[in-house]
Chain A
Amino acid sequence: MNETTRDAFDQALDSREVRGRSLYVDAWHRLLRNKAAVAALVILTIMIALVVFGPMLVDWDHEIPDWDNYSTPPSLETGHLFGTDALGRDLFARTMIGGRISLLVGLVATLVSLLIGVTWGAFAGYVGGRVDNVMMRIVDAVYAMPFMFFVILLMVVFGRNIFLIFVAIGAINWLDMARIVRGQTLSLKNKDFVEAARACGATEWQIIRRHIVPNLLGVVIVYVTLTIPQVILVESFLSFLGLGVQEPLTSWGALVNEGAQEMEVAPWSLLFPASFLAVTLFAFNFLGDGLRDALDPKDRQ
């Protein structure tokens, strides 16, 4: 290669697009290349659209029984797409309404546990020493409290309220999150690149924001996608005990529970809510997997 062609080559290289991309823009592009994650994203979008707008599409209300049709199988003639339950209530409307509650509990309670858990764990891990010790012993103490007792106590003191369920579940789940995040932070803060950032003059806050948090994301996201299904199941358990949502309001967990009791005579009353629940949980897991891979630049192909 002679000098002029080399110069031209260098110039061509220099004039190429060199605008920096952020981790998140990069991660988004990588996520879109992951088929399973995109499918999960589409399914979740449809699911959310369904539970928000679905009840408006049918003539039947989730709480008023159709006096002519008790426990009928799905049929287009009667207009009960998913059939009716033992009280003659439209199962499609009930599944959609139940989905609202389940998704809301899943998302809000997870968000609560995410906020408290990450802040608590990251702070304890980053500051370390005595502060860390005290904060983690508090976590241990709360952990030792029986969950059901805690929920019942809340119900007794504040009365029955759907938001209390969010609070109660979130308040328990952040403990695991705090432990995981603390462990990660502890190992991250001793990494060379954190000291390098400090040597570059970064303040503690900048280090947390630019180095600790992005490196925590992978683990946190996986844990979040595990928490959402878990929370949805806990809610259904609470409903079963009569501590969760109350009739005529319902949730997927409550519907599955009812359906299971009539499984032999009316299988559709189990099939529809259960498949909605399962598909949603699957989608969350795939999305979580995809997000973790997308946020880790090392997996870039």
Chain B
Amino acid sequence: MRNPVLQVRDLEVSFRVDTGSIFRHDYHRIRAVDGVSFDVYPAETLGIVGESGCGKSTLARALLGLKRAHGGKILWLGEDLVAASEEKMRRKRREIQLIFQDPQGSLDPRMTIGDIVAEPLRVFYPSMSRLQVRERVTGILKLVGLRPDQVNRYPHEFSGGQCQRVGIARALVVNPRLVVCDEPVSALDVSIQAQIVNLLKDLQKKLQLSLIFIAHDLSIVRHVSDRILVMYMGKVMELADRSSIYRRPKHPYTRALIESVPIPDPVRERARARRSLKGDMPSPLDPPSGCVFRTRCPFATELCAREVPELETLDDGHRVACHHHRELPPPPEPGEASEPDARESAEP
């Protein structure tokens, strides 16, 4: 395999939460991202899934330096970004761009579409002539499926899907190598979701982009990703190829996530045994000892409370952080396993 563009090693990002009263100064640190490691290869898509609050968005922001990491390394083409100065980090953002969850909110309501898309160009290429900027903007708008004569429109005149296309155009206008998509479709209608996801895949192929695709919806991540990383409470639970994750999920949490995806067939949907996750994620202020998932895990034992499971690499490159992944019973539905196969054969 080729060299990775991005290597993340033991990344730690924490927030300060003041817990003191006016008489006593005191605070806690919440580890939103806790020892996360992964690689991203050229022109591949890494999907990141997890519940709300598991640290996905914080991870995305840390990769761009919008939230500074407190430990670990982010190696971008071999260069460490955690230690980089603010100014250097700013310049690196030409190569790493971000697409936001809220399509309308991420566009300045007082700027025209043309100005919004041109902004990264003006920032990184201040000497570029107006004509060149206009040509580039026109080109990129066409690429994302918007009409160039819409440059003078304002964001509120567009639908959510169109706004997200503008957001994509803005991210791609400076030719980045990696685009971090932070739940780019979760605010959109289901019919529009497919359009945007397919647009991203198309563009990835055309421009040889690497994508980090963050979502809480497994079915979308399955559709776009080459490899999938499952996060829970700031930690990596499982990291493997898409087919491997869906056919042989090793971690109980991954299994629960896969089981929670509804099957678009009422008969099968009703027939299958659902073991939805019990309870909520524990408070990050007071994380459980040992394995963070043990409080909701049906297979938890005394060992899980005592020791933190290592992220173990299996023979086929599948990585999982669970003490008992070898002893788990096989996933219940045979119907579930066949579905990803059909999908994969349809896609090159």
Chain A residues at the B interface, C-beta cutoff of 8 Å: 13-14, 16-23, 26, 191-193, 195-203, 206, 210-211, 214-215, 295-298, 300
Interface residue? B188 (CB, 8 A)? no
Using A199-B64, A206-B123 as known contacts, say yes or no to A18 and B110 having CB atoms under 8 A apart: no
**Subset of 25 A-B contacts with CB under 8 Å:** A13-B147, A16-B149, A17-B149, A18-B134, A18-B149, A20-B115, A20-B118, A20-B151, A21-B152, A23-B110, A193-B106, A193-B107, A193-B109, A196-B100, A198-B66, A199-B93, A200-B120, A201-B120, A201-B123, A201-B174, A214-B108, A215-B108, A295-B110, A297-B110, A298-B109
Chain B residues at the A interface, C-beta cutoff of 8 Å: 64, 66, 90-91, 93-94, 97-98, 100, 102, 105-112, 114-115, 118-120, 123-124, 134, 138, 147-149, 151-152, 154, 156, 167, 170, 174
Q: A300 CA to B156 CA in the complex, in Å?
A: 10
Q: Which of A17, A18, A195 meets B66, CB within 8 Å?
A: A195
Q: Which residues of B contact A201 (CB under 8 A)?
A: 90-91, 93-94, 120, 123-124, 174
Q: Which residues of B contact A215 (CB under 8 A)?
A: 108-110
Q: A92 CA to B289 CA in the complex, in Å?
A: 87
A197 touching B108, Cβ below 8 Å? yes
Minimum CB–CB distance from B61 to chain A (whole Å) comes to 8
Q: A202 CA to B116 CA in the complex, in Å?
A: 12
10 nearest CB pairs, A to B: A192-B105, A297-B154, A201-B93, A20-B114, A199-B98, A200-B120, A192-B106, A196-B106, A193-B108, A16-B149
Q: Which residues of B contact A20 (CB under 8 A)?
A: 112, 114-115, 118, 134, 151-152
Determine the residue in chain B with the shortest Cβ distance to A14: B148
Q: A214 CA to B119 CA in the complex, in Å?
A: 15
A23 touching B106, Cβ below 8 Å? no
Q: Which residues of A contact B109 (CB under 8 A)?
A: 193, 215, 297-298
Q: A18 CA to B113 CA in the complex, in Å?
A: 11
Q: Which residues of B contact A21 (CB under 8 A)?
A: 112, 152
Q: A26 CA to B154 CA in the complex, in Å?
A: 11
Q: A300 CA to B93 CA in the complex, in Å?
A: 34
Q: Which residues of A contact B105 (CB under 8 A)?
A: 191-193
A203 touching B98, Cβ below 8 Å? no
B112 touching A200, Cβ below 8 Å? no
Q: Which residues of B contact A197 (CB under 8 A)?
A: 108, 119
